[in-house]
Copies of this chain bind each other. A is one copy, B any other.
Amino acid sequence: MDSTAVKDQEPFHWQTSIAYKTKDKIVVRGYDLNELIGHVSFTEMAYLVWRGELPPESHVKMLDALLVSMAEHAFSPSSAACRLVASGGVPLHVGVAGGMLAIGALHGTADRPAELFRDAVDRTQREGLSREQVAVKVAGEARKAGRRLPGFHHAQHIIDPRTARMLTLADEYGISGQYVAMARAIEAATEEFWGRRIYLNGPGAMGAICMDMGFDVELIKGVFLLSRTVSLVAHTYEEQHREKGWRASSNASIVQPLDLSLQKPDFYDGPRDRPLPKRRGGSR
């Protein structure tokens, strides 16, 4: 609020610490892009661009696992939105961006549980309490206030199948630390206040694991966005190639039934269930 604000300034350029280019080269966080190409994986590249340094090996494996976890989830607000946008007759990138707009404070929210776990861990220091004591406070306060715990519960899965897999790998890769521990403690503490366990969901696990990898809370949303872009490209592309446009059928439901015992899943016509080949690491 400065009365001199309208004074015209000396010319200057927008500033960044991410990258620069000249006529002859592109330099990303200090590395020549051409050295990176062929030597680092896309996952490593994302980590470098976002955080400024190449990741340690355990972080590469973990980030790969996280990005795979959230890359596809069938119909959701974002995949449905990208299909509706696509049905209006737009280029691929517009459908993808339209779907991404839906990934707001209630969808793909790995950053919000991350914030919850950060604040909870801070409380152990600030209030001189054990992890379990803080977890009980966090769960109890939320329940009393009628607030949802971000990162817990999944309306479609109840027990999100991704969570256990993600946490197992975080343990195996030596990533799990105080934030994953706090997430588990809060899950355990829910039983007392809800009368049943409220389970950590996939984005919740992603938030805790990213915190233990040292990600800034607000950057964690970016991990989800990159991951889900895979899905949005596929759904927009499929919509454009299978449908006629202007979705206006009066009795079409976006979301498929979850209880497949009730009916033949006529909404899915991709490959039948199949095991991952052994050479890929599959168990079968």
Q: How many copies does the complex hold?
A: 4
The stretch from A30-38, A114-122, A132-140, A175-183 touching chain B is A30-38
Are the CB atoms of A11 and B96 closer together than 8 Å?
A: no
Interface flags for A7-46 (1: CB within 8 Å of B; 0: not) read: 1111111111111111111111111111111111111011
- Contact (Cβ within 8 A) A101 B106: no
Measured between alpha carbons, how far is A1 from B181 in the docked complex, in Å? 23
The answer to whether B93 touches A84, judged by C-beta atoms less than 8 angstroms apart, is no
With A37-B69, A39-B276 known as contacts, the answer to whether A75 contacts B106 (CB < 8 A) is no
A250 to chain B minimum Cβ distance, whole angstroms, is 5
The 10 closest A-B pairs by CB, nearest first: A89-B106, A30-B271, A89-B105, A17-B270, A39-B281, A88-B102, A222-B233, A89-B104, A90-B104, A42-B67
| B158 engages A20 (CB within 8 Å) | no
- Sample of 10 further A-B pairs with CB below 8 A, known A11-B253, A88-B101: A6-B156, A8-B257, A13-B257, A35-B276, A39-B280, A45-B230, A92-B218, A93-B104, A98-B101, A219-B237
Asked if A131 is at the interface (CB within 8 A of a chain B CB), the reply is: no
Given contacts A25-B161, A78-B88, A246-B107, contact A251 B94 (CB under 8 A): no
* Neighbouring B residues of A45 by C-beta, 8 Å: 67-68, 71-72, 230
Q: Which residues of chain B are near A274, meaning CB under 8 Å?
A: 30-31
Q: Shortest CB–CB separation between residue A9 and chain B, in angstroms?
A: 5
Which residues in B have their C-beta under 8 angstroms from that of A68? 33, 36-38, 40-42, 45
CB distance from A113 to the nearest CB of B (A): 14
Q: Does A145 contact B (CB under 8 A)?
A: no
Task: Tell me if B255 and A31 are in contact (CB < 8 A).
Answer: no
Instruction: Report chain B residues within 8 Å CB of A10.
Output: 251
- CB-nearest residue of chain B relative to A255? B250
Name, among A63, A64, A159, the residue most crowded by chain B CB atoms within 10 Å (CB to CB).
A64
